[in-house]
């Protein structure tokens, strides 16, 4: 497992025309660079580049002998710039959009002499970044795997991120309160009912539902930075691979790699309905296209819960790698 490394981008000009001094931090896992196919893994809103190992947020899927096998692949994971890793934040982030992050990652890949990715995989905003990388660099990725996400910010996500922004800027306890609201987007009423059933926490004398939400608010408050949350929430509002490029068909049909859409049937955030619309539209223009649905009561967070289903969906992509380079 490598240490966190950095690439500085001095006077980077954003797509909105602003100049910013930025840096990308990243980690490698698995086989040495140059000796194996490279898999890019993008983290979600409050995640980071620590994708596997003892403290890895996706260690159930990535590791020795796991579905994304560190004995067969070189795993590369970037931190979103300004996500708070090692306390690095961006104070004036409004001019940065998700496409800028994709452009920065491509420059970083060039710096690392990585010309081709075997796969790019990510969940939530990390999956949206997979979409943006594919649209921006159609020849870069052999297998695009966007999970629990969309290629655009829907009206529903815009509404919820607006509320998040209001909480983050106006609450007396912004991280805590924003996280409580976010958990209502990431789970479902059925998930809450199955887990808590209106039960009471005997020691605290409150509903277990309340205790769980308060715990998540407190937990994020301790480990995450307010400015980083503001940035990541802002980036969620900027997902749009079509902006300035043309129609859906024109943009998506240029992507050379296989697209493996993985949706969640109960996702309240990036809905299964939106994903099915994307799949139906793409079927007319692309043959190397696959659609999978995670069945779960848990909603958006199911890609961090339903590991058996996800493994079954990913295994065909990452097995027999020597014949699929």
Q: What is the mean pLDDT of residues 173-197?
A: 98
Whether the pLDDT of residue 302 is over 90: the answer is yes
Whether the pLDDT of residue 126 is over 90: the answer is yes
Question: Which is more confidently placed, 293 or 250?
Answer: 293
The structural domains of the chain, with segments of one domain joined by +, span 5-153+239-323, 156-234
Whether the pLDDT of residue 1 is over 60: the answer is no
Return the residue matching tokens 């289903």.
309
Q: Which two tokens stand for residue 257?
A: 């790699």
Share of the chain above pLDDT 90, in %: 95
pLDDT band at 2 (very low <50, low <70, confident <90, very high): confident
Q: Which of 137, 109, 217 is nearest to 171 (CA)?
A: 217
| Per-chain mean pLDDT for the chain | 96
CATH of 5-153+239-323, one of 3.40.50.1820, 3.10.20.90, 1.10.760.10, 3.40.50.2000: 3.40.50.1820
Q: What is the mean pLDDT of residues 285-310?
A: 97
pLDDT score of 104:
98
pLDDT band at 324 (very low <50, low <70, confident <90, very high): very low
pLDDT score of 322:
61
pLDDT score of 172:
98
For residues 313 and 309, give the distance between their C-alpha atoms in angstroms, rounded to a whole number. Answer: 6
Instruction: State the CATH class of domain 156-234.
Output: mainly alpha
pLDDT score of 323:
39
pLDDT score of 320:
72
What per-residue string of b and e applies to 207-241 under the rule 16 or more CB within 10 Å gives b? ebbebbbeebbeebbeebbebbbbbbbbbbbbbbb
pLDDT score of 110:
98
Whether the pLDDT of residue 268 is over 70: the answer is yes
Name the helix (H) or strand (E) containing 29: strand 19-30
pLDDT score of 325:
43
Listed in order, strand segments (DSSP E) in 124-273 are 141-147, 200-201, 206-207, 258-264
pLDDT in tens, 52-96: 999 999 999 999 999 999 999 999 999 999 999 999 999 999 999
pLDDT in tens, 206-235: 999 999 999 999 999 999 999 999 999 999
């Amino acid at each position: 497992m490598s240490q966190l490394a950095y690439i500085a981008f001095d006077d980077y000009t954003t797509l909105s025309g602003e100049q910013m001094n930025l840096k990308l931090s990243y980690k490698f896992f698995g086989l040495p660079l140059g000796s194996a196919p490279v898999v890019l893994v993008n983290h979600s809103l409050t995640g980071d580049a620590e994708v596997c190992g003892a403290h890895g947020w996706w260690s159930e899927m990535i590791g020795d002998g796991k579905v994304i096998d560190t004995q067969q692949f070189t795993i590369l994971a970037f931190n979103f710039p300004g996500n708070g890793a090692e306390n690095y934040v961006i104070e004036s982030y409004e001019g940065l959009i998700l496409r800028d992050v994709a452009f920065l990652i491509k420059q970083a890949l060039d710096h690392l002499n990585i010309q081709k990715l075997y796969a790019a995989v990510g969940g939530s905003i990390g999956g949206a970044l997979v979409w943006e990388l594919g649209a921006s660099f159609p020849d870069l990725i052999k297998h695009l795997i966007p999970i629990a996400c969309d290629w655009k910010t829907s009206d529903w996500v815009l509404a919820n991120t607006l509320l998040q922004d209001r909480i983050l800027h106006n609450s007396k306890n912004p991280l805590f309160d924003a996280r409580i609201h976010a958990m209502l987007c990431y789970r479902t009423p059925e998930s809450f009912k199955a887990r808590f059933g209106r039960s009471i926490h005997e020691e605290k004398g409150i509903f277990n539902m309340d205790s769980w939400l308060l715990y998540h608010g407190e937990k994020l408050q301790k480990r995450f930075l307010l400015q980083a949350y503001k940035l990541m929430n802002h980036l969620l509002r900027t997902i749009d691979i079509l902006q300035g490029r043309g129609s859906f068909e024109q943009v998506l049909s240029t992507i050379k790699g296989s697209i493996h859409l993985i949706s969640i049937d109960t996702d309240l955030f990036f809905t299964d309905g939106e994903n099915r619309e994307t799949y139906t539209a793409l079927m007319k223009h692309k043959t190397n296209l696959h659609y999978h649905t995670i069945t779960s009561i848990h909603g958006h967070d199911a890609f961090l819960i339903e590991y058996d289903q996800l493994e079954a969906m990913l295994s065909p992509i990452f097995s027999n790698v020597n014949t699929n380079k």
